[in-house]
Chains A and B, each alone.
Chain A
Amino acid sequence: MKFQSIFNALNWKVTLAVLATFLGGCSASFLDKPPLGLETSASFFKTEEQAFQATNAVYNILREWSVSVFSYIGITDIVSDDSDKGSTPTDANFLLEVDDLTFDAGNVSFSTVWDGYYQGINRANLVIENVPLIDMNVANRNRLVAEAKFLRAYFYFNLVRWFGDIPLVDRPLQSDEYYSKQRSSANEIYAFIEQDLKDAAAVLPVQYGSADIGRATKGAAQGMLAKMYMTRGRWSEAALYADSVIKSGKYALYPNYAKLFTREGENSSESLFEIQTAAYTTEGGGSQYNEVQGVRGEPNLGWGFNRPSDNLVSSYEAGDPRRDATILYVGETLPDGSGVVLDNPQIFNERYNQKAWVPQVVGISNGNGQGNIRVLRYAEILLIYAEAQNELGQPQLALDAVNLVRKRARGNIPNLLRDLTVTDQTLLRERIWRERRSELALEQGRWFDLIRQGRAASVMQALGKNFVVGKHELFPIPQNEVDIAVITQNPGY
């Protein structure tokens, strides 16, 4: 019968057996599909090169939107008496709420920096936890861990000053720990920062070779320690670490204050730490720090946020050249002479932060900003030293330091910004505070100063802002974080 022949030819039992063998035999590898073109954690943190890559990844986040750009500028400068929101009146309303102290916990500024800074902390934690286990050059290994600790301390230092008690995450969290954290006290956070910075200062090199300029140095760690102690009112330690930086002989005030903030003044003798950016045609090295503060309209440079306030304009001593170096007015020629700022009728009381100005690079978008973001410079170390010595009853040491700053500011114009001579502790304190404001305006430190000096309420209330004592010293924990992590909120929010 015909059927039989076919059946014999295609013995179904054999067919199935072959099939089953094929599927069964290869199923183990058939179902193994590792990621393609992607490294997994299993092969990472094994080599020295990867140790560097992971550390570079911590630096990488410094220039991100969430860490150093829009909201960051909002809750350091715009919130303070130094500047107003800027731009057109109605653009980016949430920053107006910041400016007016009418924000609540849902304001996007807080969740932006919260997420950004904790992502930075996580990147640093990955280095600090994993790099010590890598078989590699010991000096490099220790240095990379120290760099990560410096950066972690920087992230925590901003967070603790904004939010007070915050979760302390000292290593990468495992999935069963995601919801485990509660807020640690600000004291604990400061102790943690202190330890990180001390560890970093003990290991970090005094300086790097040309290719690695921009990495954290010993001076940066010591300077940051001094600033942290100043914030805490631990004056002798502040003086000690500021003095270490001064005595190191590695730093000097840059002769020209105005040029310090141009491209020419990047990584100058005055720089302890600045966030490195570059405008590549491929992008990937820039920051929007410059763009959001750039001239809005003509010339076409940016969005025009962080407008220097009337109060800042009038705060300078007569003739202080730092005012013109800090503020870019309508009608003013751009620092590189490439054009004049034209009036934009949409912008009320138009002026800009000149310290954030960078020239336009033809063929490269403004969002790819090339200006380094100055985080800590020698002039501030001198001012920290001055403030600390004044608090410690050493007015002459204080005056010596503060007058160095004034000397540089006046340049070669005589009879300007004369040396201070006042030795009364209270009066000198006020002069140093004023000096800090003039010297460091629009460098994202003013609000922290007002808070630590305990006069934010009086200063802001005098400007008609509704600063509520017992509330506005701290910003609200972002509502989303309170909701997701189930942690407590700051008072008043």
Chain B
Amino acid sequence: MKIILLRTKSAYRLLLMALVWGLSIATTFAQTYPIKGEVQDTEGEPLIGASVVVKNAAIGALTDELGRFSLNMPAQTGTLVITYFGYKPLEIAATANQEIRVVMEIAPTEIEEQVIVGYGTQRKSDLTGAISSVKAKDIARIPSPSVGTVLQGKLSGVQVIPSSGEPGAQAVIRIRGVGTLNDASPLFVVDGMLLNDISFLNTNDIASIEALKDASATAIYGSRGANGVIIITTKKGVSGKPAFSFNAYYGMQQVTRQIALTNGSEYAMLANESATNTGIKQPFPNPDTFGIGTNWQDQIFRNAPIQNYQLSASGGSDKMTYLISGDYINQSGIIKTSEYQRVSLRINNEYKMNKFITVGHNLSIVYNDGNNAPGVLGNAYRADPTVVPIDSSGKYGNTTNNAPIGNPVAQFDYNANNPRYNYRTVGNLYLDFKFLKNFNFHTSYGLDYSNGVQKTFVPVYFVSSIQQNQVSRLDVGFDRSRNWLWENTLSYNLEKGKSRLNLLGGITSQNYYGESIGGGRINYPSTDPTFYYLNAGQIEGQTNYNSASWWSMASYLFRANYTFDNRFLFTVSGRADGSSKFGKNNRYGYFPSVAAGWNVSNEKFMSGIKAISRLKIRGSWGIIGNEKIGGNQQYALVSPNLSAVFGANEVLQNGSSTIAPGNPNLQWESTSQSNAGFEIGLFNNRLQGEVDWYRRVTNDILTTVPIPGYVGSASDPTVNAASVLNTGVDFKVTWQDARPFNYHVSILGSTVRNEVLSLGQGKEEILAGGLGVGGLLGTRTVVGSPIGSYYGYKVAGIYQNQEDLANFPKRGNEVPGDLRFEDINGDGVITALDRTDLGSPTPNLIFGANFGLEIKGFDLEVDFNGQRGNYIANAKKMARFGTPNYEVSYLNRWTGEGTSNSEPRITDGGGNYDFSTRFLEKGDFLRLRNVSLGYTLPSNWTDVLNMGSLRIFVTGTNLVTWTQYSGYTPEILGGVLDGGIDFGIYPIARVYNIGVNANF
């Protein structure tokens, strides 16, 4: 009998200990070498289901109820790899016929997981704030060019809305609902750089993403924290020999669905019926002759490839670490002519000058170019299906006979020449100076520099009098911006006895400047792209512009963290922000927060409760701000170019005036947020849960508010308009285990209840959300209801006959077959006063579910996400300027008594098109967001190839969406006062990828 004691000591004072029992027994078979043993924890308790595998051989076993195992090794001696979830994995040399005893230590990462917080890192166990975190491995399985979209369904309290399927488009992220009437996007902090646009990032470079949700976490970002903060940390090298990784995928994208529209004959029939109902001549003498006609959606969509290649090298010594990474992505859009490609280079190095000073940089250089599709989506939805795209003589079909809707196929030829390219550098250089044992001074200078060009060329063409261009024209615009951020922080760390204190103070300043210049000329000799330069056009009639904007911020920040005995946690923080966007009187804002936490599981009385491995209760309160408004809102600007023609020679005389108001009294929007939550880990942290309740009140909300037409203003002013309450719960529950194999299941979600508490300026309601041809307002923001609730008529049915018209309240012009609205105020007639709240565009539950497993080299990951409780206004259906194509729902129209009680007789305007529940659809959905299946080659294979690891995978993204919504996607982005209105967005794509991850 032999006892082997292994002991190592790391810099983090961690002990790794293993005991191996060995017992020599006689071999019974010549070819096999049996070994058995048991696995225990440090307290002698057996570990059930631990995995014991012979290294470099596909032989292994699991421990039984007594923690015992037995297996046959392929050779006399070998190495056993023992893993158990939540414990430090062990490798033990073993000789056949022994009996060994293994003692496993709880894995140190579970004890001291570090979480990135604003201006620093913190032990997860010390956190008092609500922070959702996701690591590289959790997002690497969804190949996507957009960082935002990979977060969908991964972080509780974070809603990700793909703004469109346009290649290169970024997703819109909302944390804990909409707390503002203004831009509700969170602040992005990439390696310390404060940004609004993260399109330069590639997913493979990301080490971790944290979403800061409550005031304790975000108040350190003061005026920019109100919508939450997303901190993104890119990868760094680690000391050791160079590690290379290569990641690639190739995929095919396709539109997830088409909108069901009427075909040629159906359209012609409906158009005729509409003409008859309106009392005009029928446009189509023989509707049946058109047959299926043209499916314009087929004409604009395509299967589009996407490919991505990334190569990185990292490593370092105790003097320096390095990471360089190059990435190339090429994505075609699912709408023809939309293209995007991006080349990026990243260099993240860190140099230790000496014991005290560390210098480093994160540097990213990105080039991208692309071409946008012309506005064909709306036209494909509306274009006359009886018209051929191109007729036999090669001419484009004229789709403008019954509605001013251009031929989408012609648009690809004439309106798709809009190349753009952009260079962007985002990076920072930093220095850390540790001194007097407890102090660290950190200074970082970050720069975001961007330089772009876009061109639009329109040739001379004629499709119809509505779709034509008589003069070729090229417009060219150059724009350039730079945004620097200088941050200086001083931190002090003290550990004394049971106390741990961390103090942080800092001064930061930020400055943005952007300028654009451009011009246009007409009459080009050629349509070839080699002529897309202004010099090729005619000088006479040339136009130009040059404009610029700038803003700056100066901030002072402070935070104190105090932890006592790993049990009691306190955080106090504050920030003062000065912004150039506000007038002198309201320039500075102050944003404090306090928070406390209690690690209940570290209490003595908990030590007896084995099942609970971790339990923390925490609460916070703070004030955070929002200053996301344009730079010049405080000023009444003079609008130029209001010139008038006078004189015998028709000379343009310069005109300008102050036609848009300013608001010098603008002030900070502030949000006070309370948060209470707990984190729990059960059964050795196999079951983990995190629940946060929050209550956010946003005051002095900055927004543009519609003002009466009689004011005569050219635009709506920005005002501090209202107070809004958001309250809800974020939760995440995860079960993960290594038995019988590694797997995990997570369910996460957040609820949001949104209520307007008050409106500024003595207003009782704010109507917004222009819908339909007339721009009728379809949302109402009123105290006591969710922001931007739909506002219109409730359909009660259809007037079936004259009797109905006589018996039910009506407006006056109705005839049988028209919609019958509910008489909400009961006055016996239908008027505008009978409009009422119809529902909210904001979902009240957003959820995600992830499932993953690893078995014998295979890994499978399945993600779902969804939402419920919201409605979508199908505005594209409502806007009928003329007689464009119909959705198939029109085929169920009323054609006589009893034929329908929901779909009215067919018309192309009039009272049936006033905003009502007719145009409102449920936005609930559940989406199979991602399925990925990978296979990691056995290491003895990859060893032969001299590789660290090689994984091949296939994925499918946006595979199935279960929803009742009739449009392309139920995820509709919009403004805050006018959200959820579907005018026809670029649909998201279903993507199939095949790819490889290789490490050397």
Contact = CB atoms under 8 A, between A and B. Distances in A.
The answer on A and B forming one complex is: yes
Interface stretch (A29-37, A323-331, A391-399): A29-37
B711 A173 contact: yes
Interface string A237-256: 00000000000000000000
A421 interface: no
A435 to B, nearest CB: 31
Interface string B876-912: 0000111100000000000000000000000011110
A480 B777 contact: yes
Interface string B740-782: 0000000000000000000001111001000011111100000
A211 B647 CA distance: 4
B643 A479 contact: no
Contact of A178 (B435, B439, B707): B707
B280 A96 contact: yes
Contact of B462 (A40, A121, A300): A300
A466 B762 CA distance: 41
A166 B710 CA distance: 9
Contacts of B832: 105, 479, 482-483, 489
Interface in A118-177: 118-123, 125-127, 166-167, 169, 172-173, 175-176
Nearest to A44: B638
A12 B490 contact: yes
Given A106-B774, A285-B650, A492 B812 contact: yes
A119 B548 CA distance: 27
A363 B521 CA distance: 12
Interface residues of A, number: 123
Contacts, number: 351
Contacts of B661: 175
Interface stretch (A14-22, A197-205, A225-233, A312-320): A14-22
A154 to B, nearest CB: 14
A488 to B, nearest CB: 11
Nearest to B522: A281
Given A31-B579, A284-B652, A12 B435 contact: yes
Interface string B778-822: 000000000000000000000000000000000111000000000
Contacts of B642: 53, 56-57, 60-61, 123
Interface in B654-713: 654-659, 661-663, 706-713
A294 B631 CA distance: 43
A169 B711 contact: yes
B664 to A, nearest CB: 10
The bracket for how many chain B residues form the interface is: 35 or more
Contacts of B640: 39
B641 A12 contact: no
Contacts of B764: 486
Interface stretch (A3-11, A73-81, A410-418, A452-460): A3-11
Contacts of A338: none
A224 interface: no
Contact of A111 (B275, B469, B775): B775
Interface string B558-585: 0000000000000000000011110000
Nearest to B511: A30
B359 interface: no
Residue of A34, A35, A119, A365 contacting most chain B CB atoms (<10 Å): A35
Interface string B840-884: 000000000000000000000000000000000000000011110
Interface in A276-296: 276-278, 280-282, 284-285, 294, 296
Interface in A32-86: 32-45, 50, 52-63
A114 B709 contact: yes
Contact of B541 (A40, A57, A282): A282
A220 B325 CA distance: 74
A213 B657 contact: no
Nearest to B641: A284
Contact of A60 (B644, B709, B882): B644
Contacts of A52: 653-654
B93 interface: no
B402 interface: yes
B523 interface: yes
B830 to A, nearest CB: 11
Contacts of B30: none
Interface stretch (B126-134, B215-223, B350-358): B350-358
B466 A122 contact: no
Nearest to A89: B280
A23 B509 contact: yes
Nearest to B357: A6
A277 B645 contact: yes
A122 B711 contact: yes
B813 A280 contact: no
Contacts of A259: none
A115 interface: yes
A212 interface: yes
A213 B465 contact: no
Contacts of A212: 646-647
B643 A284 contact: yes
A481 B844 CA distance: 32
B914 A106 contact: yes
Interface stretch (B195-203, B549-557, B963-971): B549-557
Given A123-B712, A480-B776, A104 B641 contact: no
A40 B662 contact: yes
A173 B717 CA distance: 12
B578 A301 contact: no
A434 interface: no
Contacts of B357: 6
Residue of B554, B578, B764 contacting most chain A CB atoms (<10 Å): B554
Given A212-B646, A363-B470, A92 B881 contact: yes
B441 interface: yes
A88 interface: yes
B655 A302 contact: no
Contacts of B462: 300
A106 B280 contact: no
B281 interface: yes
Contact of A278 (B635, B650, B777): B650
Nearest to A40: B635
A117 B857 CA distance: 73
B24 interface: no
A367 B436 CA distance: 74
B637 A213 contact: no
Contacts of B649: 210-211
A58 B649 CA distance: 20
Contact of A30 (B271, B439, B441, B554): B554
Nearest to A122: B712
7 contacts: A27-B578, A35-B635, A40-B635, A56-B643, A111-B709, A118-B710, A285-B652
Interface of A: 2-3, 6-7, 10, 12, 15-16, 19-20, 23, 27, 30-45, 50, 52-63, 88-94, 96-97, 100, 102, 104-108, 111, 114-115, 118-123, 125-127, 166-167, 169, 172-173, 175-176, 178-179, 181, 210-215, 267, 276-278, 280-282, 284-285, 294, 296-297, 300-304, 346, 348, 362-366, 466, 468, 478-487, 489, 492
7 closest A-B pairs by beta carbon, nearest first, are A122-B712, A281-B541, A56-B655, A90-B883, A485-B708, A93-B909, A59-B644
Given A277-B645, A285-B643, 11 more contacts: A60-B644, A88-B882, A91-B400, A100-B279, A108-B774, A123-B642, A123-B659, A169-B711, A281-B540, A479-B776, A479-B777
